[in-house]
Every structure is written in C-alpha cells, then in structure tokens.
Amino acid sequence: METSLLMLGFVIFLALAFDFINGFHDTANAIATSVSTRALKPRTAIILAALMNFVGALMFTGVAKKIGGSITDPTLLDNGINIVAATLIAAIIWNLVTWWFGIPSSSSHALIGALAGAVYVGAGSDHIKWEGFIEIVEGLIFSPLIAFVIGYIVMTILKWIFAKRSPHTVNKGFRSMQVITAALQSFTHGTNDAQKAMGIITFALVTSGRLETMEVPLWVKIAAATSMALGTSIGGWKIIKTMGTKIFKIEPINGFAADMSAASVIFTATLLHLPVSSTHAITSAILGVGSAKRFSAVKWGVAGRIIVTWFITIPISAVLAGLICKLFF
C-alpha cells in the first residue's frame, strides 16, 4: 500500500483545499444571522468566525476518526489514495457549484457521498461498511429535523417571555447577545466540520502506509484548522445573503434563537462523534424560528429549493466521485 509522496502530497493539498472551500462555503452559515441583523459588521464577523473555527478545530478528533473509519477500512484498500483523490475532487466540484448559485448545500453530505461512491467504484461494494455509512447518513438526516424543532421551541419560549416588552428594546438587547452566539456557532462549526478534512487526510496517511491507526497527528489538526480559518476570512457572501435575508426577515431575537439552536445540535453531535451538517443545522433552525414567529413569514419556495439540494447532494456526489475514480484513476 506504499504510495508516492507526490500523490500523497496531492491528496493532502486537495483535502486542505476542501477545508478552505468549506471555510467560505459553510462558515458563512455561522455568521449569516449576525451580519443580516447588523449585530456584527461583516469584517468583524469574519475575523471572529475564523478565530473561533480555528480554536474549535483543534479541540476534538472524534468526528475525524468516524469519517475516516466508519465507511471503509483504509488498511484494506489497495488503491486507497486514488479513492481519496476522487472523493475530494468530487466534493470540491459540488461545493463550488452550489456556492456559485448561492445554495447552502452540505459539505458533509458531499464528502460522505463522494467517499461512498469512490469506494464503491474503486474497491467494490464489499469494502463499504454499510452499517457505518447508514449511521452517518441517519445523523445527517435527523440533525436538521431536531434543529428545526429546537428552533421552533426556543423562539416560542422567547416570544412568550418577551411578549409585553418593546420590540425595539428586545432587539437591542439580543443584537448584543448575537455576538456571543455567532462566536459559539463558529466554534461548534470548527469542532465538527474541520474534522472532516482531518479524517480524510488521516485516512490517506493510513491507506498509503504512513500511519497505522486513525489517530490524527498534530500537524494535520493545525493544517486543517488553519485552512478552514483562511477560507473563513474570505467570506461567503452569496450564502450569507440566502441564509440571512431570503428565508425570512431575521431580527436579532430570531438570530439569537437560531444560532443557539443550531450550535446545541452541532456540539452535541461532536460529543457523540457524529459528523453533521452545520448548513442543515442552521438552515433548519432558521426555518423553525421563522415558523414560530409566523408560519407565513417563511419563504417556503426558497426553503424548498434548499431542501431539494440536501436530498440530491449525496447521490450526485457519489456518482461524480465514481466517474472520476473510473476515468482518471
């Protein structure tokens, strides 16, 4: 299973590129509500998000091990490095396509789907751990549903508590609190999303014979965290516009409720070593909050377009990765 340093270097570059793109694609979700309500200036929000993503990425590795070992066993793949390359190329292509059109799709879905597709074509269905794959997909499916429910409940409670207060006073107070929730949301994003690139790099190191176990080396943690932070510093204004303005008109109290709901779901998943989609969590939380505020206030046409993208990401990424694996490797 020894592979050339050049090919390994290429795969590591692709993984860090994926993390960089994840930074400006997915991290925009974490700061979208605080920017749209003017709780934070765009530049300040980006700096805060980049810093908190970096810190979060360094603190946990459970998700990285789950990504790298639950779908297939890297020690049993003869052409594992090619499979990883195909996986990353497919995931990057899909992320760029959805970013270009301003659709908050899931980098997690893209990566999981692409890895399954590449393993299926490159090594055969026997090499896919279907139980582990299904467990991950279940987490990706149920987390947005849970985020929607929590967002609805949190917003309903806040409406009840502050029903007799002046809307101006309430929003002024929550605008300040959004700074905290934006930081928390970015931190939890780093604890989960950055680990996906860590897991793929470690997977590549194992399958190439450079590592024996899925323990994530320190340099991999630092490289992935730095790459995501740099991507965050560029920002993702197309995604911010969709998340912050096109689903429903977000006020500071709504942004606070959505961010708290999504962060709780993401961080719980991190503690359970489950890779989830921060995109799905925050979008679903916004939908839940909007529904609690006023069901008719939600632009369900935009929401439907986003949800369709969720469902098609895994199969499209899987097919794309399989084709790349077949044609180029």
Q: What is the pLDDT of residues 173-198, one digit of tens each?
A: 999 999 999 899 889 988 888 788 89
State what percent of residues in the chain have pLDDT above 90. 40
pLDDT for residue 302: 65
Please classify residue 245 by burial: count the beta carbons closer than 10 Å to its beta carbon, then call 0-12 exposed, 13-18 middle and 19+ buried: middle
Closest CA to 74 of 302, 158, 51, 82: 82
Please tell me whether residue 3 adopts helix, strand or coil conformation: coil
Least confident segment among 79-88, 102-111, 165-174, 317-326: 102-111
Residue 90, pLDDT > 60, answer yes
Sign of the Cα torsion 14, 16, 19, 21 reads: negative
DSSP string, 216-260: PPHHHHHHHHHHHHHHHHH--HHHHHIIIIISS---HHHHHHHHH
DSSP string, 81-97: HHHHHHHHHHHHHHHHH
Q: State mean pLDDT over 107-136.
A: 91
Residue 313, pLDDT > 50, answer yes
pLDDT for residue 248: 57
Higher pLDDT, 294 or 88: 88
DSSP string, 51-112: HHHHHHHHH--HHHHHHHHSS--GGG-TTHHHHHHHHHHHHHHHHHHHHHTT----HHHHHH
Highest mean pLDDT among 7-11, 163-167, 239-243, 302-306: 7-11
Q: State mean pLDDT over 230-239.
A: 68
Least confident segment among 93-102, 109-118, 146-155: 93-102
Closest CA to 298 of 306, 307, 289, 290: 290
Whole-number average pLDDT of the chain: 86
Q: Is 166 left (phi over 0), alpha (psi -120 to 50) or beta?
A: beta
Give the number of domains in the chain. 1
25: confidence class by pLDDT, cuts 50, 70, 90? low
Q: What is the pLDDT of residues 192-206, one digit of tens each?
A: 887 888 999 999 999
Q: Which domain holds residue 276?
A: 5-328
pLDDT for residue 1: 46
Highest mean pLDDT among 39-48, 148-157, 238-247, 306-315: 148-157
Sign of the Cα torsion 4, 229, 59, 141 reads: negative
State what percent of residues in the chain have pLDDT above 70. 91
DSSP string, 264-278: HHHHHHHHTT----H
Higher pLDDT, 15 or 305: 15
Residue 116, pLDDT > 50, answer yes
Q: State mean pLDDT over 205-233.
A: 88
Q: What is the pLDDT of residues 270-310, one digit of tens each?
A: 999 888 888 788 888 988 998 998 887 777 776 787 678 77
Integer-rounded Cα Rg, in Å, for the chain is 19
